[in-house]
Structure 1
Amino acid sequence: MRSTSITPASMFFRGIGTATPSTRYTKAECLEAFERSDWYARLDGRSHWVARTVLQHDNGIEARRLAVDSISDVFRIDPNTLIQRFLAHAPALAAKAAGHALAKSSLAERDIGAVIVSTCTGYLCPGLSGYVVERLGLRADVQAYDLVGQGCAAALPNLQLARALLVSGECEHVLSVCVEVSSAAMYLDNDPGVLISACLFGDGAGAAILSRDPAAGGRIIEWIDSTSLIDPSKRQALMFEQRDGMLRNILTRAVPGLAATYARRVLDSVLDRAGLHVADISAWIMHAGGRDVLLALEREFGLEARDFRYSAAMLREYGNLSSAFIYFAFEAALADEAPPGWWWISSFGAGFSCHGALLQVSK
């Protein structure tokens, strides 16, 4: 592997874990439930056409996990129902993913010095971090941080904060968690972006254990360098707004192009510092906003579909998991024993923001 002049970041991945609700719904089941729901009559003919187009054709997604006992429950859309759905499922999913990551790390609960939890699909006070501390039995003096409002991009800022805590000497081991209950941020109206959004997102959580030192044996995964980019002038392209006491997702046609353009700028910035090129990356772990986003990334990066196979596979089975998605793609790459060398991990979303990190992975 080519050496770099970058100062080692002193952060290593010790374990990755994920969790989803047990209920799996295909897009055909989602369309059938929509057509049976009261919402079908409330929305106009164009909205019916949009929903059928997205859910009957290849949109890169075949199924999603949703935190409801019946698909018909998805269409119970009111503020009280949605916040109760978030409260019932976000802590459980976050703790389950964290438990899986911890089990793979060879560490005990008492070893964790800080926990960082990101979400954008619900709000709790006290925050989700306290629920994770409680459910995992972490020690009382653990540093706990709740990050909100970063949308699909949140995983990388979460990991960047973990690195800062480790490098500063604040702690030896950090638990990073992203959890999204997208079914608790459901909103429907005749806006095509709102409808498409409702057809894309699923529920799930991802977690990672980060440490100053690698675990003995197994793969060594070191965080080498990262950077971020935010363009507030593009905020209106992708964001949540509050309407009628609920979160309403704004999704525009500009998103795939913005994601690809900014993702390339972030990538080039880090690769230039490292003296590397796109061809040097042996594994790509990318947030997949949707099929069109992956296609735009392929064009912008000059890569083939197989290069983003982990993101595409997770999108097909789980849908867009927002901030949690990166952990699923990461776990898939590890399970597939992706080749060692330089790995690239990147997330993007509301803001408009984009983040990327260069990892060095041993066999």
Structure 2
Amino acid sequence: MSVRGSNRKVNRITSGVCMFINGLGTANPPYRYSKADCWEAFKTSKWFQRLDLRSHMIMETVLKKDNGIESRSLAVESLDEVFSIDPDTLHGRFLDNAPALGATAGGAALKEAGIDASAIDGVVISTCTGYLCPGLTSYVIERLGLRTDVLAFDLVGQGCAAALPNWRLAEALLSTGSCLNVLSICVEVSSAAMYLDNDPGVLISACLFGDGAGAAVLSRHQNPQRRSIEWKGFASLINPAERDALFFETRQGMLRNVLTRTVPRLAAGHAQQVLNTVLNGANLKPEDISAWIMHAGGRDVLIALQNQLKITTEDLHYSADMLRLYGNMSSAFIYFVLQAALKDNAKPGWWWVSSFGAGFSCHGALLKAA
């Protein structure tokens, strides 16, 4: 499949330094809601009267039929709060929840890695659902008790794709010799980027996204007490010609997610190009991949990936399982999928990780699992 505007070289990097994933952690708000819960809350909200009949039909179709998602964690004690949509409320929701979620996931990753917070030399945090200055690193450093001389980087604007660029920056920090351990965190409070109008893409987006955070301890040396997962190669494809297919815009001081019908096709086409680039460079074939750790934008995206990459439903079951349980958590999603594969003791060998999102962008990483 050709991708418009993407006849450019895919940027491939063969890792020149050892980087191991020594610990993983995830976190969600304590409040979980089913599709049925969301539909009932929408019907009784003021937005039901504000939106037109076509919008009612779209919301009912997405929330009452199989869309690959059964429940989502949202940072609200009641779904009534979701429909309070104004800039101050949404910013307050992000401020109240993003630092806590990021620190909880980060603390879990540190515990699994078996290291103290003082051993972290760098911290990289990605988000796209809110803005703070100073950034989230300031809050997480404080909450986790990281050293005050830690190298801290806040990354924004990469959307669902952000996890792998985050890890690539961690690899660069490790390669300089200035860091032995980097804490990577992606945290998204999608309920803080809530927006509703009669645009079908906006409505579908409101039904897909959940709140969550993922974290990884990325280190130059393997932790001998845990399974070896080593980063071996990386590639990126940034295609600005398709920028309008998926992005946030600001309206009335709030983030509005623009989601178009072309996203599944674009995700699959870009994912194919990035996969081919890395596998060809490593003299591997798709059948050499023993575990697929894929971002799931939604059910239709997973179907497109399966068809494009010529893999099976079983190959994507970790992604499908996490989508069903948590919805699309944007950049944090990949951590949950990788965690699921590790908990399931997925087959050793070559693992493929891929994320894609705003831009239009796609990234892929080759891991070697012992």
Structure 1 residue 77 corresponds to structure 2 residue 85: yes
Matched residue type, 2:187: V
Aligned residue runs from structure 1 range 151-166, under 5 A: 151-166=159-174
1:333 is matched with 341
Equivalent in 290, 294, 304 of residue 282 of structure 1: 290
- Displacement of 1:178 after TM fit? 0.1
C-alpha offsets along residues 246-298 of structure 1, whole Å, 9 cap, x if unaligned? 00000000000000000010000000000000000000000000000000000
Unaligned runs of 5+ in 1: 1-5
Which secondary structure does the structure 2 equivalent of 1:159 belong to?
Answer: helix
Matches within 5 A, 1:1-363: 8-362=16-370
Residue 167 of structure 1: how far off its partner (Å): 1.0
How many residues end up aligned between the 2 structures?
Answer: 358
Structure 1 contact 155–347 (Cα < 8 Å) conserved: yes
4+ residue segments displaced more than 2 Å: 6-9
Q: Indicate if the aligned counterparts of 2:24 and 2:339 stay in contact, CA closer than 8 A.
A: yes
Secondary structure, aligned partner of 2:217 = strand
Q: 2:164, 2:17 → 1: CA distance?
A: 15
Structure 1 length-normalised TM: 0.98
Q: Is the 8 A contact 2:222 2:228 kept in 1?
A: yes
- Aligned-partner Cα distance in 2 for 1:142–1:282: 36
- How big is each residue's C-alpha offset from its partner over 1:87-125, in whole Å with a ceiling of 9 and x where there is no partner? 000000000000000000011111000000000000000
**Match in the other structure for 1:3:** none
Distance in structure 1 (CA, Å) of the matches to 2:350 and 2:223: 19
Distance in 1, Cα, partners of 2:71 & 2:321 = 11
User: What is the DSSP-based 3-state SS (H/G/I as helix, E as strand, rest coil) of the residue aligned with 1:214?
Assistant: coil
Structure 1 contact 9–225 (Cα < 8 Å) conserved: no
Q: Which amino acid aligns with 2:107?
A: G
Cα drift, residue 8 of structure 1:
5.0
Using the alignment, how far apart are the partners of 2:69 and 2:151 within structure 1?
37
CA distance in 1, matches of 2:169, 2:321: 28
Unaligned runs of 5+ in 2: 1-13
The 8 Å contact of residues 22 and 226 in structure 2, kept in 1 or not, is answered as no
Checking the alignment, whether the CA contact within 8 Å between 1:240 and 1:250 is kept in structure 2 is: yes
1:52 match: secondary structure: helix
The sequence identity of aligned pairs, in percent, is 64
Determine the C-alpha separation between the residues in 1 that align with 2:323 and 2:251: 28
Write the distance in 2 (CA, Å) between the matches of 1:136 and 1:102. Answer: 10
